[in-house]
Homo-oligomer: A and B are copies of this chain.
Amino acid sequence: MKGTFLVTAGDPSSAARTGRIQTPHGTIETPTFAPVASQGTVKALLHSQVEELGAQVILVNAYHLNLRPGLETIAKAGGVHSFISWPKPILSDSGGYQIYSLSPLVKIEAEGVRFSSHLDGTKIFLRPEDAVDIQRTLGSDIMMTLDYFLPYPAPKPKMREAVKLTSAWARRSKDRFLEAETPQQLWGISQGSVFWDLREQSIQDLLEVGFDGYALGGLGLGEPKSELMETLEKADLLLPKDRPRYLMGMGYVEDILEAVARGVDFFDCVLPTRNARNGTLFTRQGKMVIKNQKYAQDFRPVDEGCGCYTCRHFSRAYLRHLHERDEVSSAVLNTIHNLNFYLDFFGQIRQSITSNSFAAFRHTTSAHIEEGIT
């Protein structure tokens, strides 16, 4: 199987581990955070800035790119790396989540999903095979299977049905995937929410098919934290150690840390970038809402210990001014800070695992988070 994943270190106190995902566009050191670049750009940033901040992989969205600019354009450009000029690894999401969350009309059938474009209402029928074909054309390093996503809470019988369909689609995705040689990887997505019997079934179905990586979908949607963590713990025991695990869309620092402790390797979330554009900044002392009047004459940097471009040069007062004036540079400077915060955090996680101090790091960070500020 391509895309070998190599575990490079393990934490003795938990299931946390570091690893390396090999892709045609380079290596991804895990645990890792993929900034979201749905449309082929991390919102508000230039690729050069994303690279400088230390991102190893970005996430593009097959749903969005397939609608606009369309596959034909990206194929003619030579694939998504070439079209967007990002030289490093790219993971493409299949678009399952977007179909269910953006489309005004969705109808699930055994064969695939029927939906209308949220942009112009065009009716589209997407089968799991199509999702594979689309991502093959994109040429992303890591492709995701098309899953059947349900919001939380969903009744158990409905979730059972979703798991069944997701498993059938995963098998068909793999079959399609095997029809032609490709250096790309295909990762399967499990569903089942926090119903462990359903999640277990979903994961076992995926394991039977066999994928390069395993994603936990449909979590972080408001389910009780204890049930989420229990699900991660049980999944850790079920999933093979030699494959990366991806907890989709989960973005709170405290959850990430606990998920890493339960053996998760790969994360993505719009939280740092979206919050930045709304003027909410992450610091080691908690969240900072930059528009607050109390920052109007606060000439300190956002985070005095932070080394990002924003904190090295600009004050809370100036950032508040830019935010209040609705300046584009407000979005840019805030995003630089928040993404630096996340990527730096993942660097610290990896470092602490490698140096056998993850338990201490986890403890200190959790304590800091509990103190909080605003």
Interface residues of A (CB under 8 A from B): 39-48, 68-69, 72-73, 76-77, 83-85, 277, 296-297, 299, 309, 313-315, 317-318, 320-322, 324-325, 327-329, 331-333
Contact = CB atoms under 8 A, between A and B. Distances in A.
Given A44-B329, A297-B76, A332-B328, A69 B321 contact: yes
21 contacts: A39-B321, A39-B322, A41-B322, A43-B327, A44-B329, A44-B332, A46-B309, A46-B332, A46-B333, A48-B309, A68-B324, A69-B317, A69-B324, A73-B296, A77-B299, A77-B315, A77-B317, A83-B315, A85-B314, A277-B328, A332-B332
Contacts of A299: 76-77
Given A296-B73, A309-B48, A333-B46, A40 B321 contact: yes
B328 A44 contact: yes
Contacts of A44: 328-329, 332
A45 to B, nearest CB: 7
Contacts of A47: 313
B317 A41 contact: no
A74 to B, nearest CB: 9
B40 A84 contact: no
A318 B85 contact: yes
Contacts of A321: 39-40, 68-69, 73, 83
Chain A interface SS verdict (over half)? helix
B313 A73 contact: no
A101 B298 CA distance: 32
A362 to B, nearest CB: 35
Given A73-B297, A328-B332, A317 B46 contact: no
Given A309-B48, A329-B46, A69 B314 contact: no
Contacts of A315: 77, 83, 85
A320 B77 CA distance: 14
Nearest to A314: B85
A339 to B, nearest CB: 13
Contacts of A313: 47, 85
B297 A329 contact: no
Contacts of A296: 69, 73
Given A43-B328, A76-B297, A299-B76, A317 B68 contact: no
Given A41-B327, A68-B325, A83-B318, 14 more contacts: A39-B321, A39-B322, A39-B325, A39-B327, A40-B321, A41-B329, A42-B329, A46-B333, A47-B313, A48-B309, A76-B299, A83-B317, A83-B321, A85-B313
Nearest to A333: B46
State the 3 A-B residue pairs at the shortest beta-carbon distance, nearest first.
Answer: A44-B328, A41-B329, A39-B325
Nearest to A299: B77
A329 B83 contact: no
A29 to B, nearest CB: 25
Listed residue (A322, A328, A333) with the most chain B CB atoms within 10 angstroms of its CB: A328
A315 to B, nearest CB: 7
Nearest to A327: B41
